Amino acid sequence: MRIRGWRRWCVLLLPALALLASAPAPAVEAGPLLIGSEPMRPHVMALAASMEARSGSPLPTDIEDSARDAIERFCATRQAVALALHRRLNRLNRRCIGTEVEVEEIVLGVDATVVAVTRDWKGFDVTLGGLFRAIARDVPGEGGLHANAAERWSQIAPTWPDSPLQVLLPARTQIAGALLEERVLQAGCREIPDLQAIYSAAERTRRCAALRQDSRVREYADAAELAAALAEDRPTTLTLLPFASLRRHAGRLDALTVEGIAADDATIASGAYPLSQRLYLYLRRPVEGGRATAAEIYRLLRIADVATAEETVGPGGRLPTLGVTPLPMEERGRQRARVLARFAEARIR
């Protein structure tokens, strides 16, 4: 009888679990084994804590300012075996990693940024284009680009309230802020020929990411700054915040729909909500037909085991406690079986 679907992966998983149970822990190499981008710092620390709690072995880590810096450090650091990112590796990034190694992709869950208003303010459907026109420093107008001078929400869209425009945004050091830059600022910029005409990619990215500099747009660095800003009671402020933070401010804030889609566990987990983003962990693995030492295989199995375990990524696990929405249960199960089976099948030199 042929074994299909996730049951097949469960059968393949058994050798990996047996190896984990029987093999002695190898000595930890010097230098970072897990590299992450700054927005992923809490998640990297959670993975390292899970690794130590599960195996008794520490997991040396390193945090870089941006996803680009983290990828470059991962490429340049031979002993680094894991890379945590708030976005998916693209084809160019994979070329940076090189032909000598391949990576195994693990989805840690889904994060989301919600758009909210105070409960005593009229709600409306938010569009990504409207958000761009509200917060970007440079916006198109007659004769080319102009400094953003919109003062009322009705200047952004006629159906939006005729109220003073005010926006509270997460800093880019948070996943919510990094997602805002990617999905709103950079995406909106691609629709503006004057900005796309800038030859230098670095300068184009910098210009696209620039926020208006007046007091109508403010950024907060952490949960304490968010709470302090909300206490100022500015009733026409549009607040962007992590989905988990919305629950902590549920008595004060209501989430708006974005492009007609409400933020909830189902729309975030499926990716249907426009401001949702999967979080990734990449593990080096031997190339097809290549060989690895028993210590290398064991280390990869240990990290893969922790990164896919229910106590890490399932409901109530370390990452969901940070606000990450878990993948559906069946998808988590298939992923865990596939990843562990992949490393258990690696050839030992």
CATH of the domain at 39: 3.40.190.10
Q: Between 58 and 169, whose confidence is greater?
A: 169
Across the range 166-187, mean pLDDT stands at: 92
Among residues 250, 265, 292, which one ends one of the domains?
250
Share of the chain above pLDDT 90, in %: 51
CA 281 to chain centre: 10
Instruction: Look at residues 341, 343, 303 and name the one whose alpha carbon lies nearest to residue 32.
Output: 303
Examine the domain organization and report whether 171 and 235 are in the same domain: yes
- Is 263 in a helix, a strand, or coil? coil
Same domain, 225 and 204: yes
For residue 297, give the nearest of 7, 16, 1, 4 by alpha carbon: 16
pLDDT exceeds cutoff 80 at 122: no
In this structure, the answer to whether residues 26 and 71 fall within a common structural domain is yes
Q: What distance in Å separates the CA atoms of residue 349 and residue 15, rounded to the nearest whole number?
A: 18
Q: What pLDDT is attached to residue 137?
A: 92
Of the listed ranges 15-19, 254-258, 299-303, 344-348, the least confidently predicted one is 15-19
Q: Are residues 131 and 220 in the same domain?
A: yes
Q: Quick one: pLDDT at residue 2?
A: 43
Using the structure block, give the residue that is written with the tokens 């629709």: 191
Domain boundary pick from 232, 250, 268? 250
d(CA 185, CA 49): 34
Q: Is the pLDDT of residue 100 over 60?
A: no
What local confidence, expressed as pLDDT, does residue 10 receive? 53
pLDDT at 207 over 90: no
Q: What is the value of pTM for the model shown?
A: 0.84
Q: Regarding predicted confidence, which is higher, 187 or 141?
A: 187
Note the pLDDT of residue 266: 92
In a domain, 12, yes or no: yes
Do 107 and 148 belong together in one domain?
Answer: no
**DSSP-assigned beta bridge partners for residue 305:** none
Instruction: Say what the pLDDT of residue 93 is.
Output: 64
Q: How many domains in the chain?
A: 2
Q: Is residue 269 part of a domain?
A: no
pLDDT tens, residue by residue, 40-85: 999 999 999 998 888 777 889 999 998 889 998 988 887 888 999 9
Q: What is the pLDDT of residue 63?
A: 95
Last residue of a domain, one of 231, 250, 269: 250
Both 199 and 157 in one domain: the answer is: yes
- For residue 313, tell me if it sits in a domain: yes
Same domain, 103 and 134: no
Q: What does the pLDDT read at residue 208?
A: 86
Same domain? 157 vs 57: no
Domain assignment of residue 293, given as a range:
5-111+278-348
Residues 19 and 99 in one domain: yes
* Residue 268 domain flag: no
Mean per-residue pLDDT over the chain, rounded: 84
pLDDT at residue 101, rounded to an integer:
56
Q: What is the mean pLDDT of residues 20-39?
A: 65
DSSP 8-state secondary structure symbol assigned to residue 153: G
DSSP state at residue 164: B
Three-state secondary-structure class, residue 258 = strand
Same domain, 128 and 242: yes
Structure confidence at residue 116 (pLDDT): 94
> Would you say residue 264 lies in a domain?
no
**What pLDDT score does 99 carry?**
46
> Is 205 among the domain residues?
yes
pLDDT at 279: 96
Q: Answer yes or no: do 203 and 146 share one domain.
A: yes
The residue-averaged pLDDT of 91-107 equals: 70
Which secondary structure element, helix H or strand E, spans residue 167, and what is its range?
strand 166-170
Per-residue model confidence as pLDDT tens digits over 213-247: 899 999 999 999 999 998 887 888 999 999 989 98
| One domain for residues 149 and 206 | yes
* 176: CATH: 3.40.190
Residue 272 lies in a domain: no
Question: Does the residue 256 lie in any domain?
Answer: no
